[in-house]
Amino acid sequence: MSHLQTSAFPFAFFEGKIVPIAKAHVNIQTNALQYGTGVFGGVRGYYNKKGKFISLFRLEDHMTRFLNSLKILGESIEYSKEDLIDITIKLLKKNAPETDTYVRPFAYAGSLSLTPNLERDNPFYFAQYMIPLGDYLPTDKGVTTCVSSWRRISDNAIPSRAKITGGYINSALAKKEANSNGFDEAIFLNEAGHVAEGSAMNLFIVRDGVLITPSKSEDILEGITRRSIMQFATDLGIPVEERTVDRSELYIADEAFFCGTGAQVAWIKEVDHRKVGSGKRGNIAGTIQDLFFRVVRGEEEKYEKWCTKIKINS
């Protein structure tokens, strides 16, 4: 959305080293730019003013998924997961942000060849930048949504479980349609007509005290926030179901919310002009949202293993 801050912190990792962001440029012919032959990740770092540290949420899990996205394409980069973690920490220290931060690891097909290919003559290169980032969706006032007329890309077309740059045209189409019709966000159905996810976030609904989310085979990204929330629910004794979700269930759900690195936990107040539950933040969504924000800020001992705390020296 246009209100999102997009000017990056001064340094990026590019072509094997940390450089000023203005130097992190590619040729217009670059294969990834022409055809979307790239993969990306997204990690949030929450700034703790008092302790002067950034808490990166599930950094290792994000890097695992990033490398798995490459694996799905049959591609690789020259860095291991440990290297990527190391690069992220070095770049974070160099930029020394004193605000909540979004980290974008990116791997792209760098050849200038004309053909959209994933061949050996079109190797993938790694780059990374960081931006300040507040709320991506409203987290306090309820999100308005519509079911998109666009279907979620299927596993046999562009695998949704990989974060493939070209696949995000699907997200952009859904988001554009939703926004131009006055909604905050879209909900995708997959080709089978089942509920999948938002344009760049996973979805949960609550029915009769049960937390329900579309299963991993419904053409969704296997979200790290989704996985974390399922763990919270289990720990809180809330029953969780991963299953097929029908469109009409959205209309009669007691509660619904999105989750993701960008979206965080954002409760939904309306689907296709139908109020979700009372139209207010529900009990389960509220409990999970509050816990989520404490966890990502490194304030819950039980989940501290998910937080990589990096001291910021300004």
Where along the sequence are the contacts to ligand PMP (CB under 6 A)? 42, 197, 200-202, 221, 223-226, 260-262
| 118 or 172: CB nearest ligand PMP | 172
| 151 or 280: CB nearest ligand PMP | 151
| 97 or 223: CB nearest ligand PMP | 223
Least separation in angstroms between CB 260 and ligand PMP: 3
Least separation in angstroms between CB 201 and ligand PMP: 5
d(CA 309, CA 192): 42
| Best CA proximity match to 66, nearest among 124, 107, 25 | 107
Q: Give the chain as a 3 state SS string.
A: CCCCCCCCCCEEEECCEEEEHHHCCCCCCCHHHHHCCEEECCEEEEEECCCCEEEEECHHHHHHHHHHHHHHCCCCCCCCHHHHHHHHHHHHHHHCCCCCEEEEEEEEECCCCCCCCCCCCCCEEEEEEEEECCCCCCCCCCEEEEEEEEECCCCCCCCCCCCEHHHHHHHHHHHHHHHHCCCCEEEEECCCCCEEEECCCEEEEEECCEEEEECCCCCCCCCHHHHHHHHHHHHHCCCEEEECCCHHHHHHCCEEEEEECCCEEEEEEEECCEECCCCCCCHHHHHHHHHHHHHHCCCCHHHHHHEEEEECCC
Least separation in angstroms between CB 202 and ligand PMP: 5
Least separation in angstroms between CB 28 and ligand PMP: 26
Least separation in angstroms between CB 196 and ligand PMP: 9
| 110 or 223: CB nearest ligand PMP | 223
**Whether the Cβ atoms of residue 261 and residue 105 lie closer than 8 Å to each other:** no
| Positions marked catalytic | 163
| 42 or 277: CB nearest ligand PMP | 42
Least separation in angstroms between CB 172 and ligand PMP: 11
Tokens representing 213 are 């989310």
| 11 or 108: CB nearest ligand PMP | 108
| 32 or 122: CB nearest ligand PMP | 32
CA distances from 181 to 114, 167, 176 (A): 37, 23, 8
Least separation in angstroms between CB 304 and ligand PMP: 19
Between the two ends of the chain, the Cα-to-Cα distance in Å is 30
